[in-house]
Chain A
Amino acid sequence: MAEVRLENVVKMYGKKVAIRGVSFTCREGEFFSILGPTGAGKTTILKMIAGIEPVTSGNIYFNGKVVNDLPPQERNVSMAFETYNLYPHMTVYDNIAFPLRAPRWRLKLTPQEEKKRVEEIATFLGIEKLLDRLPQNLSGGQKQRVSLARALVRRAEVYLLDEPIAHLDAKLKFSTQTLLKEFAQRYGSTIIYVTHDFREALALSDRMVVLRRGRVEQEGTPEEIYYYPKTDFVGRLVGDPPMNLIDGELVSQNGAFFFRKGEDFTLLLEGALAEKANSAAQEENGRRVVRLGIRPEHIRLGGAKSSENAFRLPIYAVIHESESSVVTFRLKDNTFLYVRTIGFCKYGRGEEVWLEFDPQRMFFYRKTVEAAKEGSLER
């Protein structure tokens, strides 16, 4: 077990910068996730920690010692690759046993001990019936579990898991998450887990970082990331439907501050909210623009006006999910506003309802990502 610390790590491929100065600390025995969209540099970071890719500048520490120049064999890490990388000429059994047989670890297991270890982890992951097969005869999900088994079979300082359950079907995904959590607790292992799926990151991690184009956007516990997103990027990446990002204008009248969203609604901002909005606001064509972020579950719907800040909008669509409903409103600038209500939504399309934002859950951001317009699938 080890603590892994990255300090200002930069990675360049030729003149292209892949990682732009990333720093974070994964404490000993921690389940640490790296969340980010495709191309954010998650895998690159993992490969640098493993020692497969050299760092261009900056330092990587294991337990306070710089490991920049150590080859992978000397770092005692274990890695499950997103591309599986199973050895095609070996059976599943041999693939899983391969790390146990490396002379470097001096395990010197007897065939019986080795068999026990392999069968144990294979049974744990539900692939014990596949041990005699060759990788080419496995499905994607089976290959993925074999590669996970190969990574977990050995006691390593750090486990690096690159999208290890991305290709499993929904049910297996869930049960494998539980297994991973169990594994982490049983062995107190340090696990660095890479994923593009915020659900996995929130569900598994003790702490996590959100990565954006080679930079750390936010570091924190899943709770902090979800409930207190530092930027609009984090707000939109985490959550489904994502955080509502409403571009509006900050206006002041008689010393009071208002957030005005075109003709749709105007909110009075009081106390700390006004301060936050002021510090995030930017000049644009002589107006002060600011982006309001609020999660869909932090908007209340009602049939009557509940406060001064409540406003009325017609419902655009209602999507019923198993234990909640998502109500969509369409604003004048063709952006959508999502509201999640607990239970079955009793309103229907076209009905006008009152909306009220929870002031405790409102955030103001500088604009750093494009808001999702109607018809755009960009996330």
Chain B
Amino acid sequence: MKILFWLVTALVLFVIVAPLAWIYLTAFKSPNDIFTTEARKLIFFKPTMENFNRLFREFPFWDNFVNTAIISVSSTVVVMVIASFAAYSFARWNTGKGHLLFTTISTRMFPGVVAAIPFFVMYRNLGLLDTRFGLALLHIYFNVSFATFLLYGFFKEIPVELEQAAMVDGYSRVDIFRKIVLPLVRPGLAVTAVFCLVWSWNEFLFSFLFTRVAARPVTVLISSFWGSIEVQYGPMAAGAAIVILPTLVAAWFMQRYIIRGLTFGAVKG
């Protein structure tokens, strides 16, 4: 039993770690080492910063990286503000008697690409194509429904009696939200914010369709190394190695919150 457990764990770990390892190894290899068939060179090679230098010199990597950061952080902030009020309202007053909540969630039920064409036409007419604002708006649109749905569950977990007790204790609605509800829902907020941030950070489809140069996020830049004539593995791996770092850090940092958040309410305190 024990052996089986470790076997499965090792397998899962391998599946998760292998691509990451490949990216980080490749990022530090010279072109010759990347394409060599020598098995030994897979791990043992002379590390070089060549790929990073090329990436920074020949491509607008940092510009695109900043685009990604601005778009994902700003959209997440807006999403969290809208979604937490919306979710609280749905959870506490059943606003719209379920229909409104369903409508909100249903925007996530069709493939995003279905909405792409009407959005594209609209954006072209509004002049929002290839703007950070435009892309952030799209991310807000998609993340608000998801975040509302997730937060709805977290808010639902907070017993309404706690708020009633606080009302009797003399606190206003706003104070109750600030002093009772928010502290209790904090793990849920953290989980939701990280999910939104990571989703927006990694988002590719709409970024690819709605940006060209000025607002291009870094995911689109990395995909551009995959050309029709050759695949530039070096700069691609170097870019990926940097881009995934923040999400790894976020996941690491939020780990305890995510685990607590996902099992929130399983055992009532």
Q: Judge: A and B partners, yes or no.
A: yes
Please report A residues at the B interface, Cβ cutoff 8 Å. 47, 50-52, 71-73, 76-79, 81, 83, 85, 87-89, 98-99, 102-105, 135-136, 150, 154
Contacts of B164 on A, CB cut-off 8 Å?
47, 50, 52, 72, 81, 85
Judging by beta carbons under 8 Å apart, are B159 and A52 in contact?
no
Contacts of B183 on A, CB cut-off 8 Å?
89
**B166 interface hit (Cβ, 8 Å):** yes
Q: Check A99/B169 contact, CB under 8 A, given A81-B161, A87-B180, A89-B184.
A: yes
One of B42-50, B170-178, B196-204 contacting the partner: B170-178
B149-208 CB contacts (< 8 Å) to partner A: 159, 161-162, 164-172, 175, 180, 183-184
**B269 interface hit (Cβ, 8 Å):** yes
Contacts of B162 on A, CB cut-off 8 Å?
85, 87-88
Judging by beta carbons under 8 Å apart, are B269 and A77 in contact?
no
Judging by beta carbons under 8 Å apart, are A81 and B269 in contact?
no
Bound-state Cα–Cα, A136 to B268, Å:
9
Judging by beta carbons under 8 Å apart, are B269 and A73 in contact?
no
Contacting B161 at CB < 8 Å: which of A71, A83, A135? A83
Known: A87-B165, A88-B162. 18 other contacts (CB 8 A): A47-B164, A52-B167, A52-B168, A73-B167, A73-B170, A78-B168, A83-B159, A83-B161, A85-B162, A85-B164, A85-B165, A89-B184, A98-B166, A99-B169, A102-B175, A103-B170, A135-B269, A150-B169
Bound-state Cα–Cα, A78 to B170, Å:
9
Judging by beta carbons under 8 Å apart, are B168 and A72 in contact?
yes
Q: Which residue of B lies closest to A137 (CB)?
A: B269
Contacts of B169 on A, CB cut-off 8 Å?
78, 98-99, 102, 150, 154
Contacts of A72 on B, CB cut-off 8 Å?
164, 167-168
Bound-state Cα–Cα, A73 to B161, Å:
15
Contacts of A104 on B, CB cut-off 8 Å?
170-172
Bound-state Cα–Cα, A154 to B168, Å:
11
Contacts of B172 on A, CB cut-off 8 Å?
73, 103-104
Please report B residues at the A interface, Cβ cutoff 8 Å. 159, 161-162, 164-172, 175, 180, 183-184, 269
Bound-state Cα–Cα, A165 to B102, Å:
43
Which residue among A78, A102, A135, A150 has the maximum number of chain B CB atoms within 10 Å of its CB? A102
Contacting B184 at CB < 8 Å: which of A88, A99, A150? A88
B166 CB to closest chain A CB, in angstroms?
7
B81 CB to closest chain A CB, in angstroms?
22
Bound-state Cα–Cα, A319 to B169, Å:
48
Contacts of B171 on A, CB cut-off 8 Å?
73, 102-104
Contacting A99 at CB < 8 Å: which of B161, B170, B175, B180? B170
Bound-state Cα–Cα, A219 to B258, Å:
55
Which residue among B164, B168, B171 has the maximum number of chain A CB atoms within 10 Å of its CB? B168
Contacts of A85 on B, CB cut-off 8 Å?
159, 161-162, 164-165
Q: Which 6 A-B pairs have the closest CB atoms?
A: A102-B170, A104-B170, A99-B169, A72-B167, A85-B165, A136-B269
Q: Which residue of B lies closest to A77 (CB)?
A: B168
Bound-state Cα–Cα, A359 to B175, Å:
62
Q: Which residue of A lies closest to B183 (CB)?
A: A89
Contacts of B175 on A, CB cut-off 8 Å?
102-103
Q: Check A88/B269 contact, CB under 8 A, given A83-B161, A103-B175.
A: yes
B45 CB to closest chain A CB, in angstroms?
52
Q: Check A50/B168 contact, CB under 8 A, given A81-B161, A89-B184.
A: yes
Contacts of A76 on B, CB cut-off 8 Å?
170
Contacts of A83 on B, CB cut-off 8 Å?
159, 161
Bound-state Cα–Cα, A77 to B161, Å:
16
Contacts of B180 on A, CB cut-off 8 Å?
87
Bound-state Cα–Cα, A85 to B268, Å:
12
A277 CB to closest chain B CB, in angstroms?
48
Q: Which residue of B lies closest to A134 (CB)?
A: B269
Bound-state Cα–Cα, A104 to B180, Å:
16
Q: Which residue of A lies closest to B167 (CB)?
A: A72
Judging by beta carbons under 8 Å apart, are B170 and A105 in contact?
yes
Bound-state Cα–Cα, A200 to B50, Å:
83
Bound-state Cα–Cα, A43 to B162, Å:
16
B191 CB to closest chain A CB, in angstroms?
17
Bound-state Cα–Cα, A71 to B171, Å:
11
Judging by beta carbons under 8 Å apart, are A71 and B167 in contact?
yes
Bound-state Cα–Cα, A77 to B164, Å:
12
Which residue among A89, A105, A136 has the maximum number of chain B CB atoms within 10 Å of its CB? A89
Contacts of B159 on A, CB cut-off 8 Å?
83, 85
B119 CB to closest chain A CB, in angstroms?
41
Judging by beta carbons under 8 Å apart, are A79 and B269 in contact?
no
B114 CB to closest chain A CB, in angstroms?
40
